[in-house]
Amino acid sequence: MTKISVIIPIYNMGLYLEECLKSVMMQTLKDIEVICINDGSTDNSLEILERYSLVHNNIIILNQENCGVARARNNGINIANGEFVVFMDPDDYYPENDILECLYNSAKENNVYICGGSYSSFRNGKIITSYYGWLKDFTFTSYKKVNFKEYQCFFGFQRFIYNLEFLKKNDIYFPLYVRYEDPPFLVRAMICAKEFYSIKKITYCYRTGYKRVILTLRKTIDYAKGVLDVLNISKEHGLKKLQAIVLETMRDDLSSAIYKHIAEGNLELRDLLCQINSFIENQSSKEIDKAFSKIYLLEPQQITEHIKKNMIKEKEFIHTLQEYKKIIIYGACRVAETVADYLKSIDGINIICFAVTDASKNPSNIYDIPVRNINEITSYNENSLVLIATFTNHHQEIRNKLEELQFKNVLPIYFDELQLFGTSIK
């Protein structure tokens, strides 16, 4: 009997696919099948799959026209023969060879439908295993059964295995979105199962930071639909913590894209924003109120004025940048990378480095730009402009550090404004 079916949707991932497949094929658990759905790749992904299938007779290749990861995973579920299924992305990998064995044995021994471990990220050459805020839920510190109503995390679905019969019996599939298709799947599965078993082991490594995510109109619409799905499910089951986390992450990831596309005249997104705002207005709890203090969503009629103000800020920002020949980006996180991406689009901007407090805890370079200790570049404190490119809760601490080192020219970056730069009004 097949114990686990590993489902891998693949679209143009030839660069990382072999590392992914090696980590799967080296698993110590016997009786697994590996279902590879080639989602219309135009690179060498299919060639790699066919080469591996000649050596490993448990690899199944399913070719389809480019339909997206949601349909690909659903097709994988439908042809799977395993007692459990697990989902792998083709640019990620298993950090150890006994991951599937540990998950399968723990699920069987504890008689659960879902079993999972901790999450790690591979970013710019560094493996990240420590997280903060609600992301701390990516890490399990004990072996035990967990009630989902006490957990309420909706990311990291790849680190869990799922009983196949349980998924099919409850009609749990991925909604056909091009973005944010996995949180509704994970939340529905967890609510139906009620509980899962956690193991004190990192069971998945997620590769990030090597490509820029651009929220196109289609992706933004589907993201908003997925957010509404999770908000409505959480409302139905009284999951206030989950609602708050969804709203907070939407504030960071989605609000600017919504504003951008509504300003350009999209009515479908305008309607989705009204539904999200209506949900917010009708909810009340400590957790939700805390999220509201960090999130703002404008009514559609306010968005045009908001964009106009931001366009003026962008012009002022570019003018300030062009006054300096040397730019230092303080930070090495997603905000800093987004800033660097934006600056590359402006002629005459010279980024000399990323600066951090401790370079040993960061990659040596990002986008081929060196990462240096701020203490080591004080020779630039008079003639450079330092952009504070971190989340705002770190701004004051960094300002104090730069003042101590006598940097004269400092400009904080606000991520929500930065995300709207380049937006026009229809």
Looking at residue 294, its pLDDT comes to 44
Least confident of 28-37, 118-127, 184-193, 321-330: 118-127
The helix/strand/coil state of 166 is helix
129: left (phi over 0), alpha (psi -120 to 50) or beta: alpha
Distance, first Cα to last Cα, the chain: 59
Spatial contact of 247 and 280, defined as CB atoms under 8 Å apart: yes
* pLDDT tens-digit series, residues 144-176: 999 999 999 899 999 999 999 999 999 999 999
* pLDDT tens-digit series, residues 258-289: 888 887 888 898 888 888 888 877 765 555 55
Average pLDDT over residues 313-318: 84
* pLDDT tens-digit series, residues 358-415: 888 788 888 889 999 999 999 998 899 999 988 787 899 999 999 999 999 999 988 7
Looking at the structure, give the CATH architecture of the domain made up of residues 311-420.
3-Layer(aba) Sandwich (3.40)
What is the rounded distance in angstroms from the CA atom of residue 147 to the CA atom of residue 281?
A: 29
In the chain, what's the furthest Cα-to-Cα distance? 69
- What's the pTM value of the predicted model, to 2 decimals? 0.82
What is the rounded distance in angstroms from the CA atom of residue 400 to the CA atom of residue 42?
A: 50
Using alpha carbons, select from 123, 133, 311, 305 the residue that is nearest to residue 208: 123
What is the rounded distance in angstroms from the CA atom of residue 206 to the CA atom of residue 213?
A: 15
Give the whole-number percent of the chain exceeding pLDDT 70.
Answer: 92
Class of domain 4-208 (CATH, top level)? alpha beta
* pLDDT tens-digit series, residues 86-96: 999 999 999 99
Domain map (residue ranges) of the chain: 4-208, 217-297, 311-420
